[in-house]
Structure 1
Amino acid sequence: MSNSLVDILSPVPVREFIQAHLNDDPLALVLQSKKYPELPIREIAAQIQSRKKAQSKLPEWYANQKIIFPHGVSMEQCSSEETAKYKASLVEGKTVTDLTGGLGIDLYYLSQKFEQTNYIERSGELQVLAQHNFEALGVNDITQFHGTAEEYLKLEKEPADCYFIDPARRDDANQKVFQIEDCSPDLNLIIPLLLERKAEVLIKLSPLLDIHLALEVLPNVKEVHVVSVKNECKELLFRIVPDYEGPANRIAVNLMKKGKEQFTFSESQEEMTPSFSQPLNFLYEPNASIMKAGGFNAVSNAFAVNKLQRNSHLYTSELLIENFPGRAFKIIAQTVLNKKKLKPYLPQGKANITVRNYPLSVKDIRRKTGVKEGGEVYLFATKLMDGSLAALVCDKAQK
């Protein structure tokens, strides 16, 4: 039997079995493999696991029964449909080349913005898988190259208008790495070659990466996009433009069902002093992208909200700011984390607790106060501008 997932999982009886057992427990299927001697049950079980992940992550691909998903790390690290479409909105031109093709999610959506598309992948298994999936999606005009990014660039005849790179973020021992110098391919070697071609470069990096350190390493960065999905930070995108000089703008994006929250700020805007005050009528918590992008002062000034304290990163205002990029709350009371003091505000003994610049963890607070998780009350434990510790009891504000 071939080692290729495409050969193993493409036959019609196998695809039909997968569809019929999508809701089965994959482990149970493996344990019952003797019941299906004619089928590759282990590969089928792994494919069912991957398809379950793809259902919410890649709904368009999931809906196509001919699509075959990789198992393990490749499925974990691939972009979601939402983030791939966002990338495609950032660049345009005649030719785009994905130097680290992988499963091909990003390139599939990028290809819809370009006339010519090149897919480069060093893994033969992934390349075969991507080719099969592109054909299943009706995309037959993507040029493929099996080899490393460095090998491809040595042979390239015509430079592309845009290059996309999603470096592998695992070392030889398959352990996760986050620093640029630990990723593959080596961006310090690749980027100068691409800048010589006068091409734009879009780089996807781990959301755990320190943005300041990355900007010290990467040249000609015009924009840093911090991309979250439903307020969970998913990836950092660095857009490199030839000959650009100057500080990079930060674009904090939160992709949600109802649309997207987007906040753009510059280095100089973040350096401006914000206003401070004690808690007023409303409380605001910036979304995950703004927090990661470091737009703490910029968001305060842009939306005319006061910071509670320099390092607390919570904001307040007299009147409700309906378009604030994050969560908004109505402050019901200001108190302290004392079981007796909290009791009048928590009739069910429950609250959703958030800690910002406070010496105790959420777990410690629950142990100290006996407050259980859940309910409709929100409790923020934080430090105020006068240095005092406070517990702000809140309800969700209706934007």
Structure 2
Amino acid sequence: MTTSEFVKQFRESDPRKLALQASRYPDVDMPYALNQIQGWQTALRKLPSWAACDGVVYPPHLNMEQCSSEATARYKQQVARRWAERIPNASRTSMTDLTGGFGVDFSFTSRCFDCATYVERNASLCAVVGANLPRLGILNAQVKCAEAEAVLEQLEPQTMIFLDPARRDEHGAKTVLIADCTPDVCQLLPSLMQKSQFVMLKLSPMLDWHKAIVDLDGKVREVHIVSADGECKELLLVLASDGTPEVQVFCVDIQSRPDSEGQYPRSEFVYSIGGEAEPQPTNSQFTIQNSTFLFEPNASVMKAGCFDEIARAYGICAISRNSHLFLSDREIDGFPGRTFAIDAVTTMNKRQLRQTLSGMKQANIAVRNFPLSVAELRKRLKLNDGGDTYIFATTTSDGDHILMLTHKTKK
């Protein structure tokens, strides 16, 4: 049995168990085969269209875990296409990815352009990507094994330049500041803007995106805060030199698995900063007593901190300034987050708690601006985890500590 036959036959098996059977397959390059099996299994979860493509070569496990998911890569593709279509009188479009990595983002964004160049300083990754691109049907691309700075210096004008700077220092520690990443985008900014119509920059979700706008000298035109299944995954900045003072912020939450039609559904909330400030919403429209629905924003909205904008856009009211929970007397289609129907509200008064929680054995508990942790509150309420009831413990604008008993709506 050859190595490729072994990989194909056993790709759904446990690599740890296969490793114990290595002596039974003397003609198989077992370390390589096990890496490919593990890579394919990761791709089945993160990159389903790649897993469905025979012959794709997978890199070491760390590269697979760090690469973009297909859901987020397809989102970048849509952003790149929208910006490329804005370029007037573009007879031939081009892009260069200066930090190619395993090439997931490149494989999707490159399809938006007539020609594309993948740049990566790691020779092994270059070899893997060079073999994979034709298998994935990408025939408009060339691969360069080089340093990003050297390529940028010699680069002809491009439609788009893409960068995903390395976010670890020489000791392997994580970094979140732009200046601490490799390459340093702030230092390269003049060249990047000179050599491209627009730049797409992928950064850590831990980054302070407000500071990034300042650090990047006012060139940021769009901020995309991208989450998948409720977990914030990355910041995506689009830079251009069109002189527009306004910055659009996109709070996006994508479903990580495709639906029956192969699409990746998402919720999206978009707002602008940098223009004239709109009147701030008031908190007098609803009270806890006359509200029937509770709204919890998704991770991207929480990262953006756009709570006034959310309240204004959907006509909802914050429980308090720091609760990050909202109320309404009606259900809202398309709210960027979770919606709950309110069943009961109680204070922390022992008698009231006993009456409200009578017969309840379990509940999902969340605390927002509340003096007790989830573990402490669960112990006090004597409730197990789970079930269909969701308890939100928070503090009102009047300083009252309350529990809101809710259940998820179907929307």
TM-score by length of 1: 0.91
Residues 40-99 of structure 1 show CA distances to partners (whole Å, capped at 9, x for unaligned) of 222322332222221121000011131111123321221111111111111244111111
- What is the aligned-residue identity percentage? 38
The reply to whether residue 163 of structure 1 matches residue 169 of structure 2 is no
Q: Amino acid of the residue matched to residue 307 of structure 2?
A: F
Superposition RMSD on alpha carbons, in Å?
2.0
The counterpart of 1:266, out of the listed 263, 272, 284, is 272
How many angstroms does 1:339 deviate by? Answer: 7.7
Match of 1:392 in 2: 404
What is residue 293 of structure 1 aligned with on the other side?
Answer: 304
> 2:158 is paired with a residue of what secondary structure?
coil
**Could you tell me which residue of structure 1 aligns to residue 99 of structure 2?**
100
Deviation at 1:175, TM superposition (A): 2.4
CA distance in 2, matches of 1:201, 1:69: 28
2:220–2:238: 8 Å Cα contact kept in structure 1? yes
AA paired with 1:106?
A: D
Q: Report the residue type matching 2:134 in the other structure.
A: E
Partner of 1:77: 66
- List structure 1 segments (4+ residues) > 3 angstroms apart after TM superposition: 268-272, 336-340, 342-348
Q: Determine whether 1:130 maps to 2:129.
A: yes
Q: How does 1:195-274 map to 2 (within 5 A)?
A: 195-219=193-217, 220-256=219-255, 257=259, 259-267=265-273, 272-274=279-281
Summarize deviations over 1:115-169 as a string: whole Å, max 9, x none.
Answer: 011111111000000011102213233122110111112222x211110101111
Determine helix, strand or coil for the equivalent of 2:144.
strand
Following the alignment from structure 2 to structure 1, what is the Cα–Cα distance between the partners of residues 333 and 65? Answer: 35
> Which structure 2 residues correspond to residues 286-325 of structure 1 after superposition, within 5 A?
286-325=297-336
Amino acid at match of 1:13: T
Aligned to 2:89: none
Q: Which residue in 2 is equivalent to 1:176?
A: 174
Kindly state the Cα deviation for residue 337 of structure 1 after the two structures are TM-superposed.
Answer: 5.1
TM-superposed CA distance for 1:345, in Å, is 4.2
- Per-residue CA deviations over 1:219-243 (Å, capped at 9, x if unaligned) read 3101100111122111100000114
Partner residue of 1:44 out of 5, 9, 33: 33
Number of the residue aligned with 2:90: none
Give the match for residue 4 of structure 1.
none
2: CA distance, partners of 1:134 / 1:174: 29
Name the aligned partner's letter for residue 304 of structure 1.
G
In structure 2, the CA distance between the partners of 1:270 and 1:170, relative to structure 1 (3 Å rule), is farther
Gaps spanning 5+ residues in structure 2: where? 85-92
Shift of the 314–38 alpha-carbon distance from structure 1 to 2, 3 Å rule, reads: same
Cα offset, 1:215, TM superposition: 1.5
- How far apart, in 2, do the equivalents of 1:31 and 1:338 lie? 60
Q: 1:72 to 1:176 in 2, by over 3 A?
A: farther
Q: Shift of residue 293 of structure 1? A: 1.3
Paired residue total: 387
Aligned to 2:12: 23
Alignment correspondent of 2:287: 278
Q: Work out the CA distance in 2 between the residues paired with 1:111 and 1:228.
A: 22
Q: Structure 1: how far apart are the matches of 2:168 and 2:322?
A: 33
SS at match of 1:212: helix
